Amino acid sequence: MERISTKQLQEQLRVYFIMGSNNCEKHPFDVLTEAIEGGITFFQFREKGHGALSGAEKVALAKELQAICRKYSIPFLVNDDVELALALDADGVHIGQEDERADIVRRKIGAKILGVSAHNLDEAKRAIEQGADYLGVGPIFPTNTKTDAKEAQGVEVLRHLREQGITIPIVGIGGITADNAKEVIRAGADGVSVISAISLANSPKESAKQLAKAVDDALHEK
């Protein structure tokens, strides 16, 4: 297997949905199915925080969600848990700055997709040197979903990273909705990653559709 190309990853990262069971009011299987019907292009299983499943229950939910992704050819990534990603033969892993070092994770996962959260230029450069395929940058806007999130940085951080020569795919994260997604793309991101805008929407399908439209419209302006 070869590493994914930048171009293919840019395409796939347009509407990146992240979710775990505690982000949903409906069954996660239904939320993800609707999100896919609405047009998400990438998925991360992020089972963490208050009330998160663990052990066999976590594995069972991951398998269920992976199966839907496979059916619709949506990449399925696992947050933090490299061993789970390998056990399920997931498409990749996303790690934060407090997790295992990116170069160690890269060695463990071979050519699978590696996403790394970065908050500034130094973290972005290090992640790239250590083998990241894409960066998750944020929080861009205030968020209620991640209780230990840093302060919102606005879209300027994206513009700054691009101006400083960071060229690998980037997704913005944190407080992104269909109303502010265009700003994120215009500032230099290839896509938007969202949790609550889809997971808590009355209609995850409609919300995903609106996000996809906003992102695609903004990409076409480029």
Q: Determine whether 55 is exposed, middle or buried from the number of CB atoms within 10 Å of its CB (0-12, 13-18, 19+).
A: exposed
Give the separation between CA 89 and CA 217, rounded to whole angstroms.
34
Residue 193 annotated in active site: no
What does 80 interact with, of Mg ion, ligand TZP, none (CB < 5 to 8 A by kind)? Mg ion
List 46, 112, 182, 209, catalytic entry: 46
3-state SS, residue 45: strand
List 14, 58, 106, 117, catalytic entry: 117
Residues 6 or more apart whose CB falls under 8 angstroms from that of 106 comprise 114, 130, 131
116 binds ligand TZP (CB under 6 A): no
What does 99 interact with, of Mg ion, ligand TZP, none (CB < 5 to 8 A by kind)? Mg ion
List the one residue from 9, 17, 34, 80 that touches Mg ion (CB under 5 A).
80
Residue 106 annotated in active site: no
Site string for ligand TZP, 53-72 (x = CB under 6 A): --------------------
Residue 195: which of 120, 115, 141 has the closest Cα? Answer: 141
Give the separation between CA 204 and CA 210, rounded to whole angstroms.
10
Q: What are phi and psi of 7, to 5 degrees?
A: -65, -45
> Shortest distance, CB of residue 14 to Mg ion, whole angstroms?
23
The footprint of Mg ion (CB under 5 A) covers 80, 96, 99
Q: List active site positions.
A: 46, 117, 146
